[in-house]
Structure formats: structure tokens, C-alpha cells
């Protein structure tokens, strides 16, 4: 491709020498970038070893309307590191695409009697144009949309892979159900007050057969690997994932239930406090678990059914309240405590969850507040087995959970250490075969079925003769039938069910009549592997090219919003581990580093239509220009902090950019002039600034990089105006440095400066200023002289001054001597070359 460009030399700046035309500059450079394609990532450069790789990724957007401030921020931040890596000699892959399946398109289609694709692809084009204008260094040759059949073909392929590996299965379970709209709702569609976002009806639960991915299979590894991510992921996200996975160590303990018909049945409970087993005075099973109905004594069966009815009616809001009084029903049977043979009553209650642990607990009211509350409500016995020195829980109604001396606990009596007590009890249970140490997780399997149209169809055919049959790989993709408008209206089943011709098919195995699965996949499935598709987005023979995945992966820095801190990142990690075990990739984690950007708010509040405080990106770009908006967002705060638009000044950014640009007009030396003969002081500033900027960018401290660039601009201005003037070679070096640093944040201004300095486009492909280590050494440094830790004087010394010389020089300093004031010197602390502290 030719690098001769039309006319972006220094020749056409003949209008106003103090400002440049922002709009004209934007249009001009978009064209140049389109022609030069400086941001296309070369597979060849990486696979041949010609250049080391970096894979930079920012979360791809959902195409709802145009870009908003959050996108503007994340793209600006992300571009700093992408462009920096390119400068430092890496082959950078920086792809972008759209997470384009999802509900808003479907709702819009119902409203406007159109096809969801109409809304989706129109928005994508709008966003694409905005991104181009925004000047982000994306490699557009790798663009993808998850709603394209060429993409979701492979999403379906991955579903089948999961199923083959035993990681996708169907089960019956309760889901959110809107009784008015007759439809299943995703969790996100249920408002905080438990009502339907569409019609306001109170959402209830309904039993449906749904597809799940077995995420729990990887719970332990997903948890353990967080240790490795601790130092390179932002802390709160690691913390959120830990809490979400919720690992807890404890024990399984087997109790024998003595049923009404005289038989016994073994039931296992999970507990984190096996050491309090002697204090178990009753057992509780989840009221809605199958076990409760199975073991209840006939005399109590009606009571249980009535209770269950009540529980089902309770909405999630009630259930969520921890202040709610305990309720339950006696099952009329007993359980045998495996360590002391004691018979304890068995109750059912909704405070025990059916889908956590084993759905049954041993209740130790003395040392667990929930059990104590239940015991008090139903007048059940309380037995203290750990004497913590606190008052008796039976009287205070306050359970004691700390360390103490074991009592009434058989072999544990007299022990004082909780950890030792737990270990001892687990050993004892294991010996007797009535229990064992175990680890339990809060994480549940991933429910991925959606009774929705605009998603990837689940590639399964249901055949009366053969059962669940996977669609053969060569028949993928299972494409969506053409539905639009009112066809998509929720009717109690997936809209796909109404597409009779599509649903009715033949069984791939026996050829008999069969029906397609009518559910679509959660859109989180689409986004759990898109980062892999980017390595070979046009490959129509495989899900992705393993060799290219090996060459590009894993992602060196991923940036996104906090709202995906748990689900998306966890699902992507899960997919990665499955694909590794399937032999398609070799790495364990997809994102080597993760940074989350804060929110852009306005006047202390989240931007929203109802508050009327939204800030429109397009308007801001129109008023201040792309560079000023980007600069504002990067400079405002550290990346992860929120930015209050009321606190920042895009007008100030614009002023700074013009000031920086003006420097380029003052440079009168020719490109290639040797800077060595230039002003030494300015050269020092330039090299120090670039050296520091390297450290700062690599530490993601982008706001400080901008501040340091401002300093360099100020120093250069001063040198031109009051010293060496625009012909000094050091001035050229400084301004070129400014252009390069600025190009990380304000690419249009930087390109314009670079051209004005007499260079060919583009600055993004220029050679980064090589820092001269000799220029980083100061001629002299200021040593601080302290007495009792308080600064009393300062002297100039050589940077390599010895400790002895510095001490001597300090003690000879008259100001310091005066400060010592004749007091005896007890000790002198010397930290050459910067500090001397005299202790008197």
C-alpha cells in the first residue's frame, strides 16, 4: 500500500495559526487511516516469531441505540494501552464486534412489527460509524456479530461439545414466571420488587424442564485460579467472584432417619461445624425438597402440604428478608445422631435451601443463630457444647460462634481450639464411616434455556423413538425461522414453538418424525467464547484455529464494566477450562489481566432519562471534538474510579490540545536533526517524561500519563518562549515526544502535529522515542537536611555523593548547624543522595 498521501504536510496551515479546525482534522485522518490500515493485526508476524504478540480486548457492546458515555470511556482507556503496545514493537490484536442477540431487539420488533434483525443491524451500523469517528485503533477485519449464522453455528457446536463431555444436561426446576404475560422471565427481567418489568405483575415460580451447563464441575478450579489472578485483576472483581463461587469447607455427616413405617433411611447433611455435632438437637430438611415429602409421617403429610402451599405463595421479597420469623412443620419422625445415638426430631422449613449442600441440616441452636431462632419458635431443646465464656444462648437468644472449651462432647471435651475440634470430629466420623470432610460451593449450575426468539437455537431434536438427539455437526447451524412482529409475542412457550414448519423435522438418527428444541441459549453463551473466535473469525471449517489461539492467547488485558464482574467473566473462564480439557487450547485462564472502568455519572447521580441528567456522547463530540472528549475521560481519574461529568472540563481539554498543537507550528528545525546539540534541560525533561510514561502506562495509570504530557508541553512552551527558541533541536525532540504521547489519547491532534512536524503519516506507526539513560541522571540533586525529622535546610549535591561526604556537607551547612542549636548529636541518618536526618 502506498504511503504517499495527498497533502498533510506542514504547508496548508495558513489560516489561523493559533487553532486548528477540529472537524476537518477528524475527517482527514479517518480517510488516511482507512487508506493505510495501520491497525490490522498480522497472524503471520506472530506465528513466524517476527514480533511478540499482545491481545488487547474490550468488552464488545450490545447494539442498543448509539454509543453512550460508558463506551466512550472504555474505548478511550483501552486505546491507550493498545497504541502503546504497538509503539513498543508488539504485534497487537485489538478486535471489535457485537453481542447482537438479546431481548431489546425482540421487544422492539414486537412493538414495531418488524424483525429483530432490523433493529439490531441498524444499531450496529450506527455504533460502527461512531466507533470509526471515535478513532479507536480497532482491527476491523476481524469484526463479528454473535447473531450471524456463521457465528452461532459455532455457538451451537460448542453446546454439543459441552453435551458430549457431560457438561450440558436437562432438568426440571422452578423458574421465574409471569402469570399475566404467560411467559418465563430471565432474572434480569424481574425487578427488585419482584414484579415483571413488562406488565408489573408479581412474578411467581413455575417448574419447567431447562438446559443447564455443569459449571459446578469446575467450581474448585474456578475458585483456586483466582489466587493467580489476584495480582493482575482488579481486586474487587476477584473478591466478587470468590463470594459468588462461595467455597466453604466442612463435613458431610450421615444421620439415619427412623421412618413412620419402621424402616430407616440414611440422610447426609452438610455442616461447617462438625465439631458441634454433640449439640445437634434436631434436624431440618428443606420444605420444598423431594426428601421432605418422601419421609414425612402420614399423620403430618397434610400439615406439610399446607405449609408447602404457603411457602410457594411467598414471594422472593419475603424470602429474602432475614428478619422474617422462622416457620416450619414437624415431620413426625426422628433421626439418629451418628456419634451419640441420640434420637432427635426432624422438621421441614423454608430456611433450609433445597439446592444448597444436601438440602438438609443438623441444627445446633446453641451455636447457630438461625437454628436458635427456629428452636425458640418451636420450643426445641438447646444444648451448649462449646463454652465460650459468654452467657447461655438458651437464655440470651444469642448463639455463640467463637472458640471455647468443648463440653458435653464426648471425646472432644476439654479441647479449646475450633480448628482442632473440627479435624478431630472429621477423623472420628471417617473412621466410623458415618461422615467425611468435604467442600461445598454456593455456585449453581448455569441455566441457559431461554423461551425467546432472538438467540442461538439449541441444536437438539426430540424424537419419540430416540429421545434427545444432537443435530449432526454438518447440519449446523440450526438457523432461526423467519418470525416478526406479533409472532414474537410471549404466549407461554418459546415463540419458536409456533413456527410449525421449523419445529417439525425428522430425527437425524432414525429418520422418523421429531420436533426441534424450541428454546434458545442465554446470550451469555455467545459472549463466553467470542474472544476465541477473533483469532480466526472467517474460518468456516472449525470453531477457531487452535494454532492461532495458541499464538494470540491468552488476552493480555481485558477491560470492561463492573456489571459483568461476576457472570460474564466467570462463564468465559468456565468455557476456557472446558476447551482446554477438550484439547483446543493450552492455557488455563482467558484473561491474564483485567481492568474494570468506573461509571460515568453526572452530578453525583447515575445518568438516566428519568433524572434528565444524561450526557449525550454525540453532542459532546460535536461540541468539543473527539480528542477533547477522549482526553477528558482518560485524564479525569484512575480508570477504575467513577467519573462525574460535572467535575471535568472538556473545554479545558480542548484548550490543552490546541496549546500542544501550537507547539508543532513553532518548530523550525528539519525532521531528522540531531537532538544531541539541543537544550540539555529540555532534553532531560523529555526523556524523563517518556521513561516515566512507559512505567505509568504499563501500570494502567493513564490519568497520570496525561498529566506528565501536560508538564512536557509546559516545559517545551517555556523553552521556546524564554530560551532556545523554535529552532533548537531539543524542541523538535520534545514536540515529537508530545505527539507520540498524545497519540495514545488524542490521535487526531497527534497525527496533525506529526504531519506539521514534516513527517509522513502516521504517528501511530512511528518509532517510539528511545529513552537515553544518561539523560535520566540528574546533574545535581537537592538533599533535604532534617533535625528530628523536620526539614531545616537543603543543599545541592552530586547524585552519586557518598554517604560520608553527604553527612560531612550537611553538618557543615550553617542553617542546619543553627537548627541543631548546640544540642548533642545522638545519631545521623543518611539516605544518600536525598536526605540527612540529625537526631539530637
CB nearer RNA, residue 96 or residue 335: 335
CB nearer RNA, residue 294 or residue 468: 294
Radius of gyration, alpha carbons of the chain:
34
Torsion angle of C-alpha atoms 225, 228, 233, 237, degrees rounded to 10: 40
**Distance in Å, CB of 611 to RNA, minimum:** 15
State the SS3 of 136-190.
Answer: CCCEEEEEEECCCHHHHHHHHHHHHHHHHCCCEEEEEEEEEEECCCCEECCHHHE
CA angle, 71 then 77 then 78, to 5°: 85
Question: Is 820 an interacting residue with respect to RNA (CB under 7 A)?
Answer: no
Task: Cell numbers for 726, please give them.
Answer: 523554535
Q: Determine the interface stretch with RNA among 103-111, 424-432, 609-617, 699-707 (rule: CB under 7 A).
A: 699-707
CB nearer RNA, residue 581 or residue 692: 692
Residue 460: partners with Cβ closer than 8 Å, 6 or more residues away: 468, 469, 470, 471, 516, 517
Interaction pattern, residues 209-238, with RNA; x per rule: CB under 7 A: --------------------------xx--
Closest CA relative to residue 447, chosen from 213, 185, 160: 213
Sign for the CA dihedral angle at 500, 506, 508, 514 comes to positive
Question: Is 319 an interacting residue with respect to RNA (CB under 7 A)?
Answer: yes
CB nearer RNA, residue 19 or residue 396: 19
Q: Determine the interface stretch with RNA among 106-114, 172-180, 578-586, 788-796 (rule: CB under 7 A).
A: 788-796
Interaction pattern, residues 657-676, with RNA; x per rule: CB under 7 A: -xx-----------------
Evaluate whether 448 touches 457 at the Cβ level (below 8 Å): no
Query: 477 φ, ψ to 5°?
Result: -80, 150
Question: Is 320 an interacting residue with respect to RNA (CB under 7 A)?
Answer: yes
**Distance in Å, CB of 356 to RNA, minimum:** 4
**Distance in Å, CB of 4 to RNA, minimum:** 35
Q: Determine the interface stretch with RNA among 5-13, 60-68, 197-205, 561-569 (rule: CB under 7 A).
A: 561-569
Question: Is 271 an interacting residue with respect to RNA (CB under 7 A)?
Answer: yes
**Distance in Å, CB of 132 to RNA, minimum:** 28
Interaction pattern, residues 618-647, with RNA; x per rule: CB under 7 A: -----------------xxxx--xxxx--x
Q: Tell me the DSSP string of 408-457.
A: S-GGGTT---HHHHHHHHHHHHHHHTSEEEEEEES---EE-EE--SSSPB
Closest CA relative to residue 394, chosen from 516, 279, 247: 279
Question: Is 194 an interacting residue with respect to RNA (CB under 7 A)?
Answer: no
CA angle, 601 then 606 then 607, to 5°: 80
| Segments in 625-679 forming alpha helices (H) | 626-635, 650-666
Q: Which of residues 156-175 bind RNA (CB under 7 A)?
A: none
Question: Is 402 an interacting residue with respect to RNA (CB under 7 A)?
Answer: no
Residue 712: partners with Cβ closer than 8 Å, 6 or more residues away: 685, 686, 689, 734, 737, 738, 741
Question: Is 239 an interacting residue with respect to RNA (CB under 7 A)?
Answer: yes
Among 651, 680, 803, 825, interactor with RNA by CB under 7 A? 651
CB nearer RNA, residue 530 or residue 571: 571
Question: Is 508 an interacting residue with respect to RNA (CB under 7 A)?
Answer: no
Q: Tell me the DSSP string of 486-532.
A: GGGS--SS-GGGG-HHHHEEE-TTT-SEEEE---EE-HHHHTTSHHH
CB nearer RNA, residue 105 or residue 785: 785
Query: In the block, which residue shows the cell 460509524?
Result: 129
CB nearer RNA, residue 705 or residue 750: 705
Question: Is 376 an interacting residue with respect to RNA (CB under 7 A)?
Answer: no
CB nearer RNA, residue 46 or residue 361: 361
Q: Determine the interface stretch with RNA among 4-12, 357-365, 385-393, 480-488 (rule: CB under 7 A).
A: 357-365
Q: Determine the interface stretch with RNA among 124-132, 191-199, 814-822, 823-831 (rule: CB under 7 A).
A: 823-831
CB nearer RNA, residue 484 or residue 659: 659
The backbone region for 264, taken as left when phi is positive above 0, alpha when psi lies in -120 to 50, beta otherwise, is beta
Among 786, 793, 801, 819, interactor with RNA by CB under 7 A? 786
Question: Is 835 an interacting residue with respect to RNA (CB under 7 A)?
Answer: yes
DSSP conformation class of 651 = H
Interaction pattern, residues 133-152, with RNA; x per rule: CB under 7 A: --------------------
CB nearer RNA, residue 23 or residue 831: 831
Evaluate whether 69 touches 600 at the Cβ level (below 8 Å): yes
Among 132, 206, 242, 462, interactor with RNA by CB under 7 A? 242
Evaluate whether 522 touches 470 at the Cβ level (below 8 Å): no
Question: Is 324 an interacting residue with respect to RNA (CB under 7 A)?
Answer: yes
Question: Is 248 an interacting residue with respect to RNA (CB under 7 A)?
Answer: yes
Residue 522: partners with Cβ closer than 8 Å, 6 or more residues away: 186, 446, 447, 448, 449, 450, 455
CB nearer RNA, residue 652 or residue 758: 652
**Distance in Å, CB of 699 to RNA, minimum:** 8
Evaluate whether 66 touches 126 at the Cβ level (below 8 Å): yes
How far, in Å, CA of 422 to CA of 251, rounded?
9
**Distance in Å, CB of 791 to RNA, minimum:** 5
Q: Which of residues 444-483 bind RNA (CB under 7 A)?
A: none
Q: Which of residues 700-739 bind RNA (CB under 7 A)?
A: 701, 703-704, 706-708, 710-711, 714, 717-718
CB nearer RNA, residue 107 or residue 649: 649
Among 30, 592, 649, 727, interactor with RNA by CB under 7 A? 649
How far, in Å, CA of 764 to CA of 137, rounded?
9
Buried b (16+ CB within 10 A) or exposed e, 164-200: eeebbebeebebbbbeebebbbbeebbeeebbbeeee
Question: Is 442 an interacting residue with respect to RNA (CB under 7 A)?
Answer: yes
CB nearer RNA, residue 132 or residue 242: 242
Question: Is 359 an interacting residue with respect to RNA (CB under 7 A)?
Answer: yes
Query: In the block, which residue shows the cell 434436631?
Result: 282
Q: Determine the interface stretch with RNA among 58-66, 156-164, 241-249, 677-685 (rule: CB under 7 A).
A: 241-249
DSSP conformation class of 765 = G
Q: Which of residues 790-809 bind RNA (CB under 7 A)?
A: 791, 794
CB nearer RNA, residue 519 or residue 752: 752
Interaction pattern, residues 275-304, with RNA; x per rule: CB under 7 A: -----------x------------------
Query: 146 φ, ψ to 5°?
Result: -70, -15
Evaluate whether 557 touches 56 at the Cβ level (below 8 Å): yes
How far, in Å, CA of 576 to CA of 410, rounded?
49
Q: Which of residues 8-67 bind RNA (CB under 7 A)?
A: 18-19
How far, in Å, CA of 310 to CA of 261, rounded?
27
Residue 633: partners with Cβ closer than 8 Å, 6 or more residues away: 69, 72, 73, 76, 77, 600, 643, 648
Question: Is 270 an interacting residue with respect to RNA (CB under 7 A)?
Answer: yes
Question: Is 780 an interacting residue with respect to RNA (CB under 7 A)?
Answer: no
Question: Is 268 an interacting residue with respect to RNA (CB under 7 A)?
Answer: no
**Distance in Å, CB of 657 to RNA, minimum:** 10
Evaluate whether 545 touches 535 at the Cβ level (below 8 Å): yes
Interaction pattern, residues 334-353, with RNA; x per rule: CB under 7 A: ----------------xxxx
Amino acid at each position: 500500500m502506498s504511503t504517499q498521501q495527498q497533502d498533510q504536510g506542514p504547508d496548508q496551515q495558513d489560516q489561523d495559526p493559533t487553532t486548528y479546525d477540529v472537524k476537518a482534522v477528524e475527517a482527514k485522518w479517518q480517510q488516511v487511516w482507512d487508506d493505510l490500515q495501520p491497525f490490522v493485526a498480522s497472524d503471520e508476524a506472530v506465528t513466524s516469531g517476527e514480533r511478540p504478540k499482545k491481545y488487547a480486548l474490550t468488552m464488545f457492546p450490545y447494539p442498543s441505540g448509539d454509543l453512550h458515555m460508558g463506551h466512550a470511556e472504555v474505548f478511550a482507556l483501552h486505546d491507550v494501552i493498545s497504541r502503546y503496545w504497538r509503539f513498543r514493537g508488539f504485534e497487537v490484536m485489538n478486535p471489535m464486534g457485537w453481542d447482537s442477540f438479546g431481548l431489546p431487539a425482540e421487544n422492539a420488533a414486537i412493538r414495531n412489527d418488524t424483525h429483530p434483525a432490523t433493529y439490531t443491524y441498524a444499531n450496529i451500523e450506527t455504533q460502527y460509524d461512531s466507533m470509526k469517528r471515535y478513532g479507536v485503533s480497532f482491527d476491523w477485519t476481524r469484526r463479528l456479530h454473535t447473531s450471524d449464522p456463521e457465528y452461532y453455528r459455532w455457538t451451537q457446536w460448542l453446546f454439543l461439545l459441552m453435551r458430549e463431555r457431560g457438561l450440558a444436561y436437562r432438568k426440571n426446576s422452578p423458574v421465574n414466571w409471569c402469570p399475566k404475560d404467560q411467559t418465563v422471565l430471565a432474572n434480569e427481567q424481574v425487578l427488585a420488587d419482584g414484579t415483571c418489568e413488562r406488565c408489573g405483575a408479581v412474578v411467581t415460580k413455575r417448574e419447567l424442564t431447562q438446559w443447564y451447563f455443569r459449571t459446578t464441575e469446575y467450581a474448585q478450579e474456578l475458585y483456586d485460579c483466582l489466587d493467580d489472578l489476584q495480582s493482575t485483576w482488579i481486586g474487587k472483581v476477584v473478591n466478587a467472584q470468590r463470594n459468588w463461587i462461595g467455597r466453604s469447607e466442612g463435613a458431610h455427616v450421615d444421620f439415619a432417619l427412623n421412618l413412620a413405617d419402621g424402616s430407616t433411611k440414611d440422610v447426609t447433611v452438610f455442616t461447617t461445624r462438625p465439631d458441634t455435632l454433640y449439640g445437634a438437637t434436631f434436624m431440618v430438611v428443606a420444605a420444598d425438597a423431594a426428601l421432605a415429602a418422601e419421609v414425612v409421617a402420614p399423620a403430618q403429610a397434610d400439615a406439610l402440604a399446607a405449609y408447602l402451599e404457603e411457602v410457594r405463595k411467598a414471594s422472593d421479597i419475603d424470602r429474602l428478608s432475614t428478619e422474617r420469623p422462622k416457620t416450619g412443620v414437624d415431620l413426625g419422625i426422628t433421626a439418629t445422631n451418628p456419634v451419640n445415638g441420640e434420637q432427635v426430631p426432624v422438621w421441614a422449613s423454608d430456611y433450609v435451601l433445597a439446592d444448597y449442600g444436601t438440602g438438609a441440616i443438623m441444627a445446633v441452636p446453641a451455636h447457630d443463630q438461625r437454628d436458635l431462632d427456629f428452636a425458640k419458635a418451636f420450643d426445641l431443646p438447646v444444648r451448649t457444647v462449646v463454652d465460650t465464656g459468654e452467657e447461655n444462648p438458651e437464655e440470651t437468644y444469642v448463639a455463640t460462634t467463637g472458640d471455647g472449651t468443648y463440653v458435653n462432647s464426648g471425646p472432644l471435651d476439654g479441647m479449646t481450639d475450633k480448628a482442632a475440634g473440627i479435624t478431630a470430629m472429621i477423623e472420628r466420623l471417617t473412621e466410623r464411616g458415618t461422615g467425611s470432610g468435604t467442600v461445598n460451593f454456593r455456585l449453581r449450575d448455569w441455566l441457559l434455556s431461554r423461551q425467546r426468539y432472538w438467540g442461538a437455537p439449541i441444536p437438539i431434536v426430540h424424537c419419540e423413538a430416540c429421545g434427545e438427539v444432537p443435530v449432526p455437526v454438518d447440519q449446523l447451524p440450526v438457523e432461526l425461522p423467519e418470525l416478526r412482529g406479533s409472532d414474537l409475542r410471549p404466549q407461554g412457550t418459546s415463540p419458536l414453538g409456533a413456527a410449525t414448519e421449523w419445529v417439525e423435522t425428522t430425527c437425524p438418527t432414525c429418520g422418523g418424525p421429531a420436533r426441534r428444541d424450541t428454546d434458545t441459549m442465554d446470550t451469555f453463551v455467545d459472549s463466553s467464547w467470542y474472544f476465541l473466535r477473533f483469532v480466526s473469525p472467517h474460518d468456516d471449517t472449525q470453531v477457531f484455529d487452535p494454532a492461532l489461539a495458541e499464538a494470540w492467547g491468552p488476552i493480555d488485558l481485558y477491560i470492561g464494566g463492573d456489571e459483568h464482574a461476576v457472570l460474564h467473566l466467570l462463564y468465559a473462564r468456565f468455557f476456557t477450562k472446558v476447551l482446554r480439557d477438550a484439547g483446543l487450547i493450552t492455557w488455563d485462564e482467558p484473561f491474564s489481566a483485567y481492568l474494570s472502568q468506573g461509571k460515568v455519572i453526572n452530578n453525583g447521580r447515575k445518568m438516566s432519562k428519568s433524572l434528565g441528567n444524561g450526557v449525550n456522547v454525540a453532542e459532546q463530540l460535536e461540541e468539543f471534538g473527539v480528542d477533547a472528549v477522549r482526553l477528558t475521560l482518560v485524564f479525569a481519574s484512575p480508570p477504575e474510579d467513577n467519573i462525574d461529568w460535572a467535575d471535568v472540563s472538556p473545554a479545558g481539554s480542548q484548550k490543552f490540545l490546541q496549546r500542544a498543537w501550537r507547539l508543532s507550528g513553532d518548530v523550525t528545525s528539519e525532521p531528522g536533526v540531531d537532538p544531541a546539540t539541543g537544550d540539555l534541560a529540555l532534553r532531560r525533561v523529555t526523556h524523563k517524561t517518556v521513561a516515566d510514561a512507559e512505567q505509568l502506562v504499563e501500570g494502567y495509570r493513564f490519568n497520570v500519563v496525561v498529566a506528565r504530557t501536560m508538564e512536557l508541553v509546559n516545559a517545551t512552551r517555556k523553552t521556546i518562549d524564554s530560551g532556545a527558541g523554535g529552532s533548537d533541536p531539543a524542541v523538535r525532540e520534545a514536540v515529537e515526544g508530545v505527539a507520540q504521547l498524545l497519540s495514545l489519547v488524542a490521535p487526531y491532534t497527534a497525527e496533525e502535529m506529526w504531519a506539521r512536524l514534516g513527517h509522513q503519516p502516521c504517528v501511530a506507526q512511528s518509532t517510539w522515542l528511545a529513552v537515553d539513560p544518561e539523560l535520566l541522571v540528574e546533574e545535581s540533586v537537592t538533599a533535604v537536611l532534617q533535625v528530628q525529622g523536620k526539614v531545616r535546610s537543603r543543599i545541592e549535591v552530586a547524585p552519586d555523593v557518598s554517604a560520608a561526604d553527604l553527612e560531612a556537607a550537611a553538618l557543615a551547612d550553617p542553617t542546619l548547624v543553627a537548627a541543631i542549636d548546640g544540642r548533642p548529636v545522638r545519631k545521623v541518618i543518611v539516605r544518600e543522595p536525598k536526605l540527612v536526618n540529625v537526631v539530637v
